[in-house]
Structure 1
């Protein structure tokens, strides 16, 4: 058995034992798709011994490259929108913009998609092409359409898929618009996060079809949702739990904050909701529903730590800190931002602090709601 085959088998055994890989049909698909074929361009790993988040390239043939391909980890494949491993010598400290998602999550999502033979799938976010290849192995390439926003990423995925003799319909463009030419689809699956589920996906799915997507926001909390498309053109369904996180689709990314407001200007009062709600995944998701256009900044001011929310749409802001014997908030702008947070958080607590699996997402022509 080759090193590639042995590492591949060990990974599949781990995914099976942890429950990410459950059904025989997906086990066969996973066995047919070697992950290293989609990482021949290399990946980035976190640099050790740096005071800031830095990345260093691992190229094909480098020590640890093949073993890295078969770890159950997400591997960064692009930095700052254009930079790939072959472009870098040494370290780089820019933000990741594309990655190969950890196999356990890829296969968990494909299992959650509840596909059957002959189902037609629209995939949003081709990425490296690994998940696309798995869909093709399970359903046949003629039933898979995949869209990638980034032309460079799309080109590399096309080459990797072609190297394996796999030729689904590959589209370069805005995945948020779907691909009407091949509609309707039985399933839609997104490997990027969204703030709101695009209506195009609902319009291009058959009634009774499923949409699997991570719904999140600018405070960094997100969750996997599985929506059923209804005859009336709406869609609804539960959050599935597990704290799933993907990079937001580029059109859904937060805009630059720019200059912060004058944090001395505003009304100060005591608050019953402490800043710790922003550190817990579930409570942060609840806060995010109350302040969907807010971004968070943490800073040291006057000898204490302040957590600041800034609403980039309205200019409203709120700063929360521990005053030594109580929690305080100072806020200003056209909207009382922390008042909204307190109201939403208090309602959630009064309901018994339900888990995210008890939340339901509903999308209609009027917009999206998430309620417990």
Structure 2
């Protein structure tokens, strides 16, 4: 039974990906030469298409058909929790490594526009599947892949070798790239970033491309495709929504609300007001992205209740300011409390209204430039930077 499932699995997934337009004909040989199942461990936590919600652990040794079905579904698969501290059963606190959703894998590879002879730097080896696909395309001798987690790197190296590929697998901080192998024609990240590491730009040849998921602290994330110029700058468009685990060097520690209340009960010293902008209006991925590039170093969290109401908490990373907005179904005004030097809800509302005035743009109208002055998001053209509502 399992053999028949295994025979049909890759073909069925390939057909689905091609219908979506994610898998193009030029990547089809790599897809078939590098089966996904060769790059997944015995223990996996299957996800759902378009979502980051994992199901409980599945062991191939105990449930081979369930495992196989998950592998050849167009959905992400978590392979590590809490930097390896949790192995199951059940789920850990924070997913820390995965095998990405196939649609996203092949969409990003297509955006990379990689060809024969190109030298490629991959940030985030993970399970090794993406590195194997690249190795099949350009030759393993032209692929360098960097992984911060020693155990993941070791396991991926073993899977790659077993599949017939031996790219250079480096254990190190992906934020540093790998200068010894530079310059590269292409750089691709399989983890998200909130700021493009300058080493990636410096290690990319003029005319080369960087493809990486980029997202602000607030939330919202999209794949950026940046072209590196002769002067060492990089600029380009966002291609579409994404949701990746953060580069470990750029993770942020988010303090509990009690750290903001300083031992007092909510609403503590919060300043009370009312708002006609619903918290529901600012919760979708594209608007979160637009808010995030305008409101630096702040993030949301929703405390939900059984009756359908919830409290939207806003906090800054400096642990100086917080705000709450109480959502109640069918109401047109919502109670707000704000505390600290930043009026975080006012900042979010200003950012939301700007986004609304621009015609509620999706990711495809935004771009990013990295240069000597830092990096900045822009709308429609590079000389039209997205405004920053307030400096942190």
TM over 0.5: yes
Shift of residue 310, structure 1, vs aligned partner: 0.5
**Unpaired segments ≥5 residues, structure 2:** 48-52, 380-392
The TM-score with structure 2 as length reference comes to: 0.86
- C-alpha contact (below 8 Å) 1:291/1:341 kept by paired residues: yes
Shift of residue 251, structure 1, vs aligned partner: 2.2
Shift of residue 56, structure 1, vs aligned partner: 2.2
Cα distance in 2 for partners of 1:54, 1:11 equals: 20
Out of 285, 289, 293, the position equivalent to 1:285 is: 289
Partner of 1:249: 247
Cα distance in 2 for partners of 1:322, 1:14 equals: 39
- C-alpha contact (below 8 Å) 1:314/1:334 kept by paired residues: no
Cα distance in 2 for partners of 1:366, 1:313 equals: 23
Shift of residue 3, structure 1, vs aligned partner: 4.6
- C-alpha contact (below 8 Å) 2:235/2:367 kept by paired residues: yes
Matching of residues 122-137 of structure 1 within 5 Å: 122-137=121-136
Partner of 1:44: 45
Closer/same/farther in 2, CA of residues 305 and 65 from structure 1, 3 Å limit: closer
Shift of residue 92, structure 1, vs aligned partner: 3.6
Are 1:321 and 2:296 an aligned pair? no
Out of 72, 75, 97, the position equivalent to 1:73 is: 75
Give per-residue Cα distances to partners, 1:63-95, cap 9 Å, x unaligned: 3222322221111111121157xx43x434432
For residue 209 of structure 1, give the secondary structure of its aligned residue in structure 2.
strand
Give per-residue Cα distances to partners, 1:111-138, cap 9 Å, x unaligned: 1111121111100000000010000001
Partner of 2:375: 368
Are 1:359 and 2:376 an aligned pair? no
**Unpaired segments ≥5 residues, structure 1:** 47-51
For residue 193 of structure 1, give the secondary structure of its aligned residue in structure 2.
coil
Closer/same/farther in 2, CA of residues 218 and 57 from structure 1, 3 Å limit: farther
Cα distance in 1 for partners of 2:112, 2:247 equals: 20
Mean alpha-carbon deviation: is it higher for 268-277 or for 189-198?
268-277
- C-alpha contact (below 8 Å) 2:79/2:98 kept by paired residues: yes
- C-alpha contact (below 8 Å) 1:11/1:71 kept by paired residues: yes
For residue 290 of structure 1, give the secondary structure of its aligned residue in structure 2.
coil
Out of 248, 270, 273, the position equivalent to 1:269 is: 273
The TM-score with structure 1 as length reference comes to: 0.90
Shift of residue 309, structure 1, vs aligned partner: 0.4
Partner of 1:223: 222
- C-alpha contact (below 8 Å) 2:150/2:171 kept by paired residues: yes
Are 1:337 and 2:344 an aligned pair? yes
For residue 164 of structure 2, give the secondary structure of its aligned residue in structure 1.
coil
Give per-residue Cα distances to partners, 1:179-209, cap 9 Å, x unaligned: 0001011110000000111111000001111
For residue 128 of structure 1, give the secondary structure of its aligned residue in structure 2.
coil
For residue 165 of structure 1, give the secondary structure of its aligned residue in structure 2.
coil
Are 1:17 and 2:19 an aligned pair? yes
- C-alpha contact (below 8 Å) 1:310/1:317 kept by paired residues: yes
Shift of residue 256, structure 1, vs aligned partner: 3.1
The total of aligned residue pairs comes to: 361
